[in-house]
Amino acid sequence: MSRVKPLRRPARLAPGARVAVVAPSGPVPEERLRAGLEVLRDWGLDPVVAPHVLDRHGAFGYLAGADADRAADLQSAWCDPAVDAVVCARGGYGVQRMVDLLDWTAMRAAGPKVFVGFSDITALHEAFAVRLGLVTLHGPMAAGVDFTKNARAQDHLRATLFAPETVRTIRSDGTALVPGRARGVTLGGCLSLLAADLGTPHARPGARGGLLCLEDVGEETYRLDRCLTQLLRAGWLDGVSGLLLGSWAQCEPYDRVRALLADRLGGLGVPVAEQFGFGHCDDALTVPFGVTAELDADAGTLTLDEPALGD
């Protein structure tokens, strides 16, 4: 099984950069989108909204419009040379229905640019790594309430986009579930999406050599158990260097979740940092995927070998 390798870094943003907002997953509340766009404008960015962002699927209300339209928005934004970054509006569900409709050859030819999202967007983080070989940002989304109303989440994403050298060390308030230090390349996202992505053309064969970031939302403990066990049984966690565990919002009480995480992950024999502060939580930190870094589980730090974005 091949090791997780560092990926190509897109360029950081500068004032005036054009940012396309897309909705690859669930329907987007218009008032939250307006609030998020205002934040981006306050940063000196030029946000543009893709044509189908506020659509609703005719039959399935959990989707932001038709699969083909959501895919077309993402591909058009990515292939537009005037666009410097693509930011997802929200998660939910829907990426897995549209990811196979993207023309990855055309998107690869368009060159690197910044991509931001989390939750259901995990499937796109994997696809961008496999198909484009590109660093992506696991961070707050434009119409997310965690973004529009939270200063730390905004500040950390802004620093990552504009001055990534200032956030080379990502500091959490968490502790070590399993102590120690580890080096590897960052990857991961939402646990249930990583489990669902197994065996697809856009997923990596495993996390060997990686610093794997995991989080989830609204799942009962037995469902988290099922996802972790599936990754273990598939050999996907074989050779992982270390783990960072983010938020488990709207799951069962954390002591139950923590016991499961220790049971399923403690036997891997690698450092595990818990409550690292990324994912579905207030004050969510932005974590780049595809960058070589060192995890210090005891100190609750992730130190990147180089800034998340290039010059």
| From 119, 172, 192, 247, the catalytic residue | 119
Distance between alpha carbon 308 and the CA centroid of its chain, in Å? 13
Strands 301-304, 169-171: parallel, antiparallel or unpaired by DSSP? Answer: antiparallel
Question: Does the annotation mark 119 as catalytic?
Answer: yes
| From 215, 219, 241, 247, the catalytic residue | 215
Question: Does the annotation mark 76 as catalytic?
Answer: no
Question: Does the annotation mark 156 as catalytic?
Answer: no
| From 52, 125, 138, 280, the catalytic residue | 280
Residue numbers annotated as active site? 119, 215, 280
